Amino acid sequence: MPPRTILSPAQRSAIFDPPPDQATIERLYTLGPDDLGQIARRRRGANPLGYAVQLCYLHHPGRSLLPGEAVPAAMLALLADQSGCRTDDFAEYSARATTLREHRAEIEAQLGLRAFDRIDVRSMLALGSEIATSTNRGDAIVAGMVDRLRLDRIVLPAASTLERLALIVRAQARKAAHAGLIRDCTADQEAALERLASSSRAGARSCSRPKGRSTAAPTRSP
């Protein structure tokens, strides 16, 4: 059984991937003098472009480049132009796992970032619970967590991690809302709600039960 998700593919991409439109790509990934200086120090082959790509991924969306991930063509072209490389150079860079790890560690230190840790799970559950009291939308809950992690300079974990936390807090919020509804009801209202729930469950069972074949013999025409 595939894992449960709270985001659609489009919502997941909007939160965790680089932007698709040229204007936003140019706004986010046009590098300043300090970044260009760091990139220029990587003089070997494809290293300037690879370093620039990793730097920009950690800037925004705020996560590490995944192994074998395809970088959006418009983003890659912009960074290749700024780093003095060809876009084709990136394939060579992305195949060097050791270089990827070393550069990622350097960039995280340079930007003052740290990895998502166990202690952050608690803070995300607390924040998600707060958001879930006012919205049922999974993308709003996950986006709120992502905004806080970026603000705290924490590298985003895998999307599936935050989705699981969002599922937990949304389920808890629904349960708390139901408990509050029952608590504020009179005895007659509570009994009516229970009858309604029982009727719904019975209806669902009858709809899901397979229909048997009729045992009656067919009638013959006179």
Q: Model confidence over 88-122: pLDDT tens digits?
A: 999 989 999 999 999 999 999 999 999 999 999 99
Return the closest-CA partner of residue 68 out of 94, 105, 96, 49.
94
Return the closest-CA partner of residue 46 out of 104, 96, 109.
96
Distance (Å, whole) CA 133 – CA 143: 15
> For residue 154, which phi and psi values (nearest 5 degrees)?
-110, 130
Return the closest-CA partner of residue 107 out of 38, 174, 161.
38
Give pLDDT tens digits for 124-142.
Answer: 999 999 999 999 999 999 9
Give pLDDT tens digits for 153-196.
Answer: 999 999 999 999 999 999 998 776 555 555 666 666 666 656 76
Q: Does the pLDDT of residue 221 top 70, yes or no?
A: no
Q: Does the pLDDT of residue 61 top 90, yes or no?
A: yes
Query: What pLDDT score was predicted for residue 182?
Result: 54
Count H helices and E strands in the chain, helices first: 11, 0
Token reading at 90: 């990136």
Distance (Å, whole) CA 118 – CA 6: 21
Distance (Å, whole) CA 111 – CA 188: 60
Neighbours of 129 (CB within 10 A): 17
Q: Does the pLDDT of residue 217 top 70, yes or no?
A: no
Summarize the confidence of residues 75-91 as an average pLDDT. 95
Q: Which runs of E-coded beta strand occur in the chain?
A: none
Q: Which runs of E-coded beta strand occur in 78-145?
A: none
Cis peptide before 61 (omega within 30 of 0): yes
